[in-house]
Structure 1
Amino acid sequence: MVCCTETISKIVVIGLNIVFMVLGIAIMIPGIIMMTNIDFLGDNIKPLLENISFNGINLASISNNLPIIFIIVGAVILIIAALGVLGACCKLKTLLVIYAIIVMLLVLVQIVVLAFFFILRSMLDDTIKKEFVSQLTSGYKVDDLDKSDEVSSAFNYMFMSMECCGMNAVTSSTNDFDSTAWRSGTGSGKKIPKGCCKGVTEATYASYTNAACTDTANSGTYWPEGCYTKIMSSFGTILDTMGYISFIAVLIQILLVIFSFCLCCSYMTDIV
């Protein structure tokens, strides 16, 4: 018995697979962006990320592997969508059945992954921010870039390259640096490190002086935004976007399974 008309099913399967292919590309793009354009993934900041973990996995490992996973997942989606288009256009019933089964399995896996993702995402902000603040408090000791202390240098590179200061925004004379070893040592009498100052560069860092910035933190001389906000505005936004794209993809895949089997019903008399 024909489940629904061949023409309607064919149009839906081909049309949704084209949308699915676009989603595959949309998943690959954030992976490519993460590999090339996110400052906090730079090698100079990796020593800091190696000391910060979430559910037993350090952020350096996540930053290294997550972009690759996105690219692979996007490529797989493109290939699967191409199978669906080929099966629908060429009336290949067997290929459509295989395609529908693969998509059903993907839907089940993605539902589990999405549930896990949204649970972890709700925990991410609070947990990771506490880890960053803890590392700053316990590990920030010197204001330089020579990597004699890798964690301190990583923080300084972060402040300078991401144009931010501390983990929480610097809005008054008290800030995240108050409890650091740097403030009780070589940074005694200062408010913020040089990396927070506007205009400092890697080339001028060692000789840079600006008392209005480092000693009194005058407004307009430093980057007031906290680095965690900067991090989440890039990395966090990408994660959220990926979650929503994946949710839309699951809905599309459910429709694809339904209409693929409908199309198979209309091809019952075809010989593959």
Structure 2
Amino acid sequence: MVCCVETISKTVIIALNIVFMVLGLAIMVPGILMFTNIDFLSDEITPLLDKISFNGVNLGSISNNLPMLFIIIGGVILAIAAIGLIGACCKIKTLLVVYAIILIVLLIAQIIILAFFFLLRSMLDDTIKQEFLNQLQNSYKQDALDKSDEVSSSFNYMFMQMECCGIDPVTSTSNDFDNTPWGRGTAQRIPKGCCKDVTENNYASYSNAACTDTATSGQYWSEGCFDKIMNSFGATLDAMGYVCLIAVLVQILLVVFAFCLCCSYATDIV
């Protein structure tokens, strides 16, 4: 009977730790990719993100630190899984006990973090969208890449780099820019950054009335920047949240079978 329990527990721990390692990689790899693949993390847009706050924490700080957090969590999970595999395969009871204790501590921390994550995530869309809209309508003052006006410049870089326009989708000549300081002082409907063929190099001399003055369909990026942000950043957050939830469920099973395997050993093998 003891031999049967040992065999089953050992097999389950090895299998689940392999799954655990895969989950660790599933958390770590997107964190690495976020450093290079999410456009609004660029230096030109950071001044704008620093002014967008959520529960007292600015979005720039979250955006810069979140990828590293994913990498660290993924690395910790890989290390813990390696300890579990060594303990199970080599029948090192002491290592298995340490492994189970680490899992319990990590499990408690993850449950607390996940509870806050899903609570805050449910509030994220409306809160962050309104923050972006407030910054646009209160601080967007010029259609230029002049770094002396960091907010306006950041918005213009965001429009170009993320291929979007405004916060909400621009579907007509009436849009988010109407109530901005820039919009109230110009006959143009949308800034140059929204136009499809504008670049950083030709921005100062760019002229396309069909885009900026009449917002003719096909001349500009019609998708709102908030949707672009949430399609990349928000989708990554959601995926990481569910991966962490699966990791919690796997950890619960690992703790149970780790103690079962420990109890099946008659003596410590160190």
TM bucket, shorter chain: over 0.9
TM-fit CA distance, 1:271: 3.4
Instruction: State how far apart, in whole Å, the 2-side matches of 1:257 and 1:4 are.
Output: 18
Matching of residue 53 in structure 1 with residue 53 in structure 2: yes
1:163 is aligned to 163
Instruction: State how far apart, in whole Å, the 1-side matches of 2:76 and 2:107 are.
Output: 14
Contact 2:195 2:211 in 1 (8 A): yes
**Which runs of 5 or more residues in structure 1 are unaligned?**
none
TM-fit CA distance, 1:4: 5.7
Matching of residue 73 in structure 1 with residue 73 in structure 2: yes
Letter in 1 for 2:173: S
1:13 is aligned to 13
Instruction: State how far apart, in whole Å, the 1-side matches of 2:161 and 2:266 are.
Output: 62
Show CA shifts across 1:122-143 (max 9, x none).
0000000000000000010000
**In the comparison of the two structures, how many residue pairs are matched?**
270
Instruction: State how far apart, in whole Å, the 1-side matches of 2:255 and 2:148 are.
Output: 58
Q: 1:145 to 1:8 in 2, by over 3 A?
A: same
Letter in 2 for 1:213: C
TM-fit CA distance, 1:270: 4.5
What SS does the corresponding residue of 1:44 show, helix, strand or coil? coil
1:217 is aligned to 215
Instruction: State how far apart, in whole Å, the 1-side matches of 2:56 and 2:5 are.
Output: 52
2:125 is aligned to 125
2:82 is aligned to 82
Show CA shifts across 1:221-251 (max 9, x none).
0000000000000000110001000000000
Instruction: State how far apart, in whole Å, the 2-side matches of 1:196 and 1:73 are.
Output: 38
Q: 1:55 to 1:3 in 2, by over 3 A?
A: farther
Q: With structure 2 as the length reference, what TM-score do the two structures score?
A: 0.98
- State the identity %: 71
1:33 is aligned to 33
TM-fit CA distance, 1:267: 1.2
1:232 is aligned to 230
Instruction: State how far apart, in whole Å, the 1-side matches of 2:117 and 2:269 are.
Output: 43
Q: CA RMSD in A?
A: 1.2
TM-fit CA distance, 1:2: 3.7
Matching of residue 194 in structure 1 with residue 195 in structure 2: no
Structure 1 segments of 4 or more deviating over 4 A?
Answer: none
**Which runs of 5 or more residues in structure 2 are unaligned?**
none
Listed as ranges, the matches of 1:166-177 within 5 Å are 166-177=166-177
Instruction: State how far apart, in whole Å, the 2-side matches of 1:139 and 1:259 are.
Output: 57
Instruction: State how far apart, in whole Å, the 2-side matches of 1:73 and 1:153 are.
Output: 35
1:108 is aligned to 108
Contact 2:189 2:215 in 1 (8 A): yes
TM-fit CA distance, 1:148: 2.4
Instruction: State how far apart, in whole Å, the 1-side matches of 2:44 and 2:100 are.
Output: 46
Instruction: State how far apart, in whole Å, the 2-side matches of 1:181 and 1:4 are.
Output: 75
Q: With structure 1 as the length reference, what TM-score do the two structures score?
A: 0.97
